[in-house]
Amino acid sequence: MATTNSARNWDLRSDTATKPSPEMFQYMAQAEVGNDVFGEDPTVNELERRVAELLGKPAAVFVVSSTMSNQLAIRTHLRNPPETVLCHSHAHIYKYEAGGASFHSQAMVVPVTPANGAINLTVDDVERGFIEDDGDFHCAPTRLILLENTFTGTVMPIDDIRAIRRFANENSVPVHMDGSRLWNASIASGISLAEYAKEVDSVNLCLSKGMGCPVGAILAGSEEFIRKARHFRKLFGGGWRQAGILAAAGLPRRLADGLFELGFKPLLPVETNMILLDPSDARVDSDELSRELAKQGVTLDTVYKGSIRIVTHNQIDDECIDLVLSVARGLEKK
Ligand X SMILES: *Cc1c(COP(=O)(O)O)cnc(C)c1O
Nearer to ligand X, 210 or 279 (CB): 210
310 binds ligand X (CB under 6 A): no
Instruction: Give the C-alpha separation, 284 to 264, whole Å.
Output: 8
> Are 239 and 233 a contacting pair, CB within 8 Å?
yes
CB of 163 to ligand X, least distance (A): 21
Instruction: Give the C-alpha separation, 120 to 155, whole Å.
Output: 8
CB of 66 to ligand X, least distance (A): 3
Q: Which of residues 70-89 bind ligand X (CB under 6 A)?
A: 70
The span of 63-71, 76-84, 218-226, 236-244 binding ligand X (CB under 6 A) equals 63-71
CB of 311 to ligand X, least distance (A): 10
> Are 101 and 257 a contacting pair, CB within 8 Å?
no
The span of 33-41, 64-72, 190-198, 296-304 binding ligand X (CB under 6 A) equals 64-72
67 binds ligand X (CB under 6 A): yes
CB of 284 to ligand X, least distance (A): 28
The span of 59-67, 75-83, 159-167, 271-279 binding ligand X (CB under 6 A) equals 59-67
> Are 303 and 296 a contacting pair, CB within 8 Å?
no
Q: Tell me the three state secondary structure of residue 135.
A: coil
Largest distance between two CA atoms of the chain: 66
Report the amino acid identity of residue 300: L
CA 151 centroid distance within chain: 8
CA 141 centroid distance within chain: 27
Nearer to ligand X, 145 or 289 (CB): 145
112 binds ligand X (CB under 6 A): no
The residue among 252, 256, 258 whose CA lies nearest residue 266 is 256
184 binds ligand X (CB under 6 A): no
> Are 240 and 64 a contacting pair, CB within 8 Å?
yes
Contact with ligand X (CB under 6 A): which of 60, 110, 217, 226? 217
CB of 152 to ligand X, least distance (A): 8
CB of 52 to ligand X, least distance (A): 19
* # of chain residues touching ligand X (CB under 6 A): 11
Nearer to ligand X, 51 or 217 (CB): 217
Q: Cα–Cα distances in Å, from 18 out to 10, 249, 300? A: 10, 10, 15
Q: Cα–Cα distances in Å, from 249 out to 14, 198, 312, 330? A: 13, 23, 8, 29
Instruction: Give the C-alpha separation, 200 to 146, whole Å.
Output: 9
The span of 65-73, 252-260, 269-277, 305-313 binding ligand X (CB under 6 A) equals 65-73
CB of 275 to ligand X, least distance (A): 15
177 binds ligand X (CB under 6 A): no
Instruction: Name the strand (E) or helix (H) holding 186.
Output: helix 182-189
Contact with ligand X (CB under 6 A): which of 86, 123, 197, 206? 206
Q: Cα–Cα distances in Å, from 281 out to 261, 265, 278, 325? A: 11, 8, 8, 17
CB of 207 to ligand X, least distance (A): 8
CB of 88 to ligand X, least distance (A): 10
120 binds ligand X (CB under 6 A): no
How many residues belong to the chain? 334
Contact with ligand X (CB under 6 A): which of 148, 160, 201, 292? 148
The residue among 15, 12, 19, 60 whose CA lies nearest residue 220 is 60
**Contact set with ligand X (CB under 6 A):** 65-67, 70, 92, 148, 178, 180, 206, 208, 217
